[in-house]
Amino acid sequence: MIKFKVGIHDVPKSVSHVIVVSPKNSSQDYNLPKAIIKRIEKLIEDKENGFFTLYQDDTIKLVSVYAKDEAEVVNDSEELRLFGAAVYKEIETEKIEEVQLIGFSDALSVCERSLFLEGMSLAQYRFDKYKKKKNESSLKTVYMNEGSVVDGELEALENLVKAVFFAKDLVNEPVNYLDAPKFSELAKEMANVYGFITEVLDKDKIEDLKMGGLLAVNQGSNTPPTFNIFTHKPKDAVNKQPLVLVGKGVMFDTGGYSLKPSNYMTDMKTDMAGAATVLATLMAIAANKLPYYVIGLVPATDNKISANAFVVDDIITISDGTTVEVQNTDAEGRLVLADALAYAKQFKPELVIDLATLTGAAAANTSSFGIAMAGNSKTAMAELKKSGDNVYERLMELPMWREFDEMLKSEVADLKNIGGSEGGATTAAKFLEHFTDYDWIHLDIAGPASVKKGKGYIQTGGTASGVRLLYNFIEEKIGKERASCSV
């Protein structure tokens, strides 16, 4: 990862310069040629960002022009992240190892600088573990003037970005490496590194708890399921009752006997993105010692086919005693989540947030541009929506009208696990709601969890959707003033 250094007293003379220019400091030429100054003025006049590269002696000067003024971006912090990511990519194009940011403090405000560095940091990610030829980053060190950032912010940003990258790695890993037991093994390792507690329940314990949803989905697999419990409970926590995060951990989803067509089965290694988000969020808040009591729950299994796999028309019993008529074995995520949501009741939580790549219907609504949200607490949903706007992981609220309940009624059991061809994202949320008796929010991340084509600081593959969202939500809860341009 990039090493950010504050203080220019130890900057090598041969270090290349990245000169940041904006309307605020456009009058300063930084010893630039007149032709470049004219081009900068034209960009600022036209309000277009741009880059100019100069080769002087043994160094490179990359002039990066951020043409938007503060009034234009006060409600769009994403512009600053994208600008930081664009600058990083320009530096990488030139294969530069060390740079000094010139004009950084003059061009951007404190919050703008924070967002710029966030975008620059997030743009570094790459997943080339399985390639012979690694695509390594050239940029190693970025120097800045004293006062460029708030004390402690760079360390906190680095910890958050490391957690985001870990979540992306998990989502990008194939199931022949990352199955349920391996996920639990990695969770224990991360708990030791970052200082939270991980407890893993094996199949025998899962059977003792009568988690019929998790066990049914696992029936067709030779790999045993796990149920993972993560706990971050600092002594100075500001909340007595925990925030509980629940992540869907279906490590690979064939659809079971309701078999997915081959083109829809590709990338089903990503069906555990909710689990990755929950684990990474615990890593980030523990690393940065946020004083908030948080529990993470991850039911983990794959959904495969064998002679023993569960089938349509099976009736299973969730751990709270609810019977479910299985009408589609590809609607398996809600079954494993049902056991986790029922398990969460024992903690008497202040709020439960579940995250899952749950429905194609949600993805059809939001594409990769946002997250479908449902829940029973308007106050908590409004707070989470604010955080979504802050980090540009935007939330679209689903209707939860009582008429949707009728679609889940079964003639032979308490519930069906699907509600028909219409309103699929809502009926999935309605199914989950049945297992809650606390304030609850459901996030269907099927759209943004993985993307086919990267853009800005988002790379192809896993996106770690929800990690920065939840982290910001918790920061807001503790009243931490991170230098982010909140909406």
Q: In this predicted model, what pLDDT tens digit does every residue of 197-239 receive, in sequence order? A: 999 999 999 999 999 999 999 999 999 999 999 999 999 999 9
Averaged pLDDT for residues 339-346: 98
Residue 154 in domain? no
How far is residue 440's CA from residue 442's CA, in Å, rounded to a whole number?
7
Tell whether the model's pLDDT for residue 483 goes beyond 70: no
Closest C-alpha to 139, from 210, 199, 62: 62
Nearest to 446 by CA among 280, 330, 294: 330
Shared domain for 195 and 318, answered yes or no, is yes
CATH of the domain at 79: 3.40.220.10
Mean pLDDT over 127-141 rounds to 92
Residue 59 confidence (pLDDT) above 90: no
**Is residue 344 assigned to a domain?**
yes
Is residue 156 situated within a structural domain?
no
**pLDDT score, position 71:** 61
Domain contains 486: no
pLDDT at 266 over 60: yes
Quote the number of domains for the chain. Answer: 2
Where does the pLDDT of residue 4 fall: very low under 50, low under 70, confident under 90, or very high at 90 and above? very high
Average pLDDT over residues 378-389: 97
Do both 101 and 195 map to the same domain?
no
Residues with catalytic function:
260, 334
- Does a structural domain hold residue 484? no
Average pLDDT, the chain: 95
User: Is pLDDT at 14 greater than 50 in this prediction?
Assistant: yes
The burial class, CB within 10 Å (0-12 / 13-18 / 19+), for 447 is: buried
CA distance 391 to 381: 15
Within this chain, do residues 213 and 285 fall inside the same structural domain, yes or no?
yes
Query: Which residues share a beta bridge with 5?
Result: 143
Tell me what pLDDT residue 482 has.
52
Comparing 74 with 425, which gets the higher pLDDT?
A: 425
Q: Which residue has the higher pLDDT, 73 or 172?
A: 172
Mean pLDDT of 166-177: 98
Q: Rounded to 5 degrees, what are φ and ψ at 17?
A: -110, 135
> In this structure, are 131 and 181 located in the same domain?
no
In this structure, the answer to whether residues 177 and 53 fall within a common structural domain is no
pLDDT at 160: 98
C-alpha–C-alpha distance, residues 217 and 224, integer Å? 11
| Same structural domain, 89 and 213 | no
Give the integer Cα–Cα distance in Å for 138 and 468.
26
Please give the Cα distance from 180 to 355 (Å, whole number).
17
Contact 187, 178 (CB under 8 A): no
Residue 484, pLDDT score: 47
Residue 118 and residue 220 in one domain: no
User: In this model, does residue 278 exceed pLDDT 50?
Assistant: yes
The CATH number for 336's domain is: 3.40.630.10
Residues 96 and 169 in one domain: no
pLDDT tens for residues 61-74?
A: 999 999 987 666 54
Name 247's bridge partners. Answer: 355
φ, ψ at 101 (rounded to 5°): -80, 115
Judgement on whether residues 317 and 398 belong to the same structural domain of the protein: yes
Stretch 35-52: mean pLDDT, rounded? 94
Question: Is the same domain home to 350 and 230?
Answer: yes
Q: Are residues 123 and 252 in the same domain?
A: no
415 Cβ neighbours under 8 A, 6+ residues apart: 322, 323, 324, 325, 408, 409, 431, 434
Select from 82, 109, 143 the last residue of a domain.
143
* 18 & 86 share domain: yes
pLDDT for the residue 207? 98
Domain extent, residue 133, equals 3-143
pLDDT score for 23: 93
